[in-house]
Structure 1
Amino acid sequence: MKKILFPTDFSEVANNAFIHALEFAKIVKGELLLLHTFELPIVDNQFIPDNYYTIFDSLQLAQFDMFKEEIPKLRELAKKRNLDHIKLSHKLMDGDLIYAIKQVVKEENIDFVVMGTSGATGWESFFVGSNTGSVVTAVDVPVLSVPAEAQYDKIKTIGFTTRFREKDKAPLKQVIKIAKKTLAEVNCLYVKTNKSDVSDETINQWKTEFEKEPVKFTIINSDLVKETIMDFVSHKNIDILAMITHKRNFFSELFSPSLTQKVSNTSVVPVLAMHEEG
């Protein structure tokens, strides 16, 4: 059984992502572990007020009470979508969110992380200096990010960006597994720039290797890589975009604010950030 970590602050954005997390759990036959973190005030030891520990305890208790109130609401959301059979467990931790996620991923052998992303444009807030962008680079498991505007719809087409490198094959095979479970097609996009050095022979070898799979390849000649990816999402009716994180700042480059403004009319879809092998 796959284990999916779902960090939440119980906001509307997070609750929207929770629906995606439930549906994703159904597809991969997984269970959800809900994580809520909170920061306690840091006080200099020399100046601890007499009532500090009382404050500390009441803050912890307030968080715990809020947690207790919110969990039934999420169970109700699951029930409404006939997904109340998905196993839910939960964890409440104090401290830094990114640190907590890293710790839980390691200790609980998590397979996927699903998170909601907020902000006016979805893409921008998600990747530029946001929690989710930090999570993508902090953990070694795939992270599915769900922009606030993304309504769950049946997954029919998964986009996958590739550069036809040998190390892209393992993530693609993982995406194909997910696609098969929801009877979806995988549409692989290669943006061929003037600097591209991928031979026709390599492309044909990939086509041959994956010919029995529900995969098609789209090759577009363009030097505007980021804009081409956005157009691809919009025009090919992509429901989830799977991308390999080639380097630490890849996502913040790809979804910079200036680019986001240009493509604000693009349909916003969840992004599955995957790590390259080796």
Structure 2
Amino acid sequence: MKNILIPTDFSDNAWDALLYAIRLYDTVPAHFYILHTYQAGTSRTSNRMSKYRDTHLHRVLKDESEKGLKKIQRYLDENLLNDDHKYQTISQAGDLVFQIKQVVANYNIDIIVMGTTGATGAKEIFMGSNAVSVINHIELCPVLTVPKDYEFTELKNIMFATDLKKKFSSIELDCLLELQTIHDSKINLLYVKEYYGLNENQLYNLIEIKALFKDNPATFLETELKDKVAKTIINYCEKNEVDLVCLVNSEKKFLKKLMEENVIKKMSFHSAIPLLIIPI
């Protein structure tokens, strides 16, 4: 059973991310956990009236959270019938990232799928920041972000952008390998060429990575660095009909010489294609 976590703020974008996840794992036995978190402000003063206001606000937010989740649960149970799928809602007070960490640990979550609206406007910056915060602080499972207004497309082409400086194991790339198997996807290994070609270590890692996709061999592609890494990847994927982009969020970040660019953050904000971030 696949355990999938969907954080929601009851927005259309969060709803689209939920539907995307359901379609993505349509043929797989899966348990979907829909999480909504809320936070009531705490007054600095400790008089009786301020405590009453805090308690009242907490109750209001709790009721709204539970009502919103019941609405989602009812729709899923009535309209998205799949004997292999189960849906469960969770309402929690507290910080989003902290509560996600708790749910990931308590329910053995395999992947988090959440919407991100991009970096245009106050609400969008807030939503985008949430996605980036989750990516940067969740270390136990992959995070899949779904851009605003994106409709599910069968994963025919998956782009795995890598600098080939690390040797990956099948366990580390389990999520990507599984998606490839489910959708019979073509994997394209994209290397952004900065100055020189591949060195001996990178060539060895390339052979090893290709071997992981033995049932459906991966294709190696090179592209010249133009402007910034994130922009280069996004432009390449949009021109080549890529359905999903995969990046590894390691301690060394992506492309060591370009750490200051913060590729993960820029991709999360600006990619018009679903983005799978694998923590290693």
Give yes or no for TM over 0.5: yes
Question: What is the match of residue 31 of structure 2?
Answer: 31
Measured against aligned partners, the alpha-carbon deviations of 1:12-35 in whole angstroms (never above 9, x if no partner) come to 111111101212343553211111
Equivalent of 1:253 in 257, 262, 267: 262
* 1:140-151 correspondence runs (5 A): 140=139, 141-151=141-151
Question: What is the match of residue 230 of structure 1?
Answer: 234
Give, in whole Å, the separation in 1 of the partners of 2:80 and 2:242: 23
* 1:62-81 correspondence runs (5 A): 62-73=61-72, 75-76=74-75, 80=79
Q: What secondary structure sits across from 2:133 in the alignment?
A: helix
* 1:174-189 correspondence runs (5 A): 174-189=175-190
Deviation at 1:235, TM superposition (A): 2.3
Higher deviation after alignment, 182-191 or 203-212: 203-212
> Given the superposition, is the C-alpha separation of residues 120 and 275 from structure 1 closer, same or farther in structure 2, using an over 3 Å criterion?
closer
Residues 8 and 34, structure 2, Cα contact 8 Å, conserved in 1: yes
Question: What is the match of residue 132 of structure 1?
Answer: 131
What RMSD in Å do the two structures reach over aligned CA positions?
3.4
Residues 119 and 128, structure 2, Cα contact 8 Å, conserved in 1: no
Question: What is the match of residue 211 of structure 2?
Answer: 209
Q: How many residues align structurally?
A: 268
* 1:3-42 correspondence runs (5 A): 3-42=3-42
Q: What secondary structure sits across from 1:160 in the alignment?
A: strand
* Segments of 4+ moved more than 6 angstroms: 126-129
Higher deviation after alignment, 83-92 or 57-66: 57-66
Equivalent of 2:275 in 253, 260, 271: 271
Deviation at 1:126, TM superposition (A): 7.3
Give, in whole Å, the separation in 2 of the partners of 1:260 and 1:37: 21
Question: What is the match of residue 94 of structure 1?
Answer: 93
Measured against aligned partners, the alpha-carbon deviations of 1:108-159 in whole angstroms (never above 9, x if no partner) come to 221111111124669xx57997011010111121000111131112222211
Q: Percent of aligned positions with the same letter in both sequences?
A: 26
Give, in whole Å, the separation in 1 of the partners of 2:32 and 2:26: 10
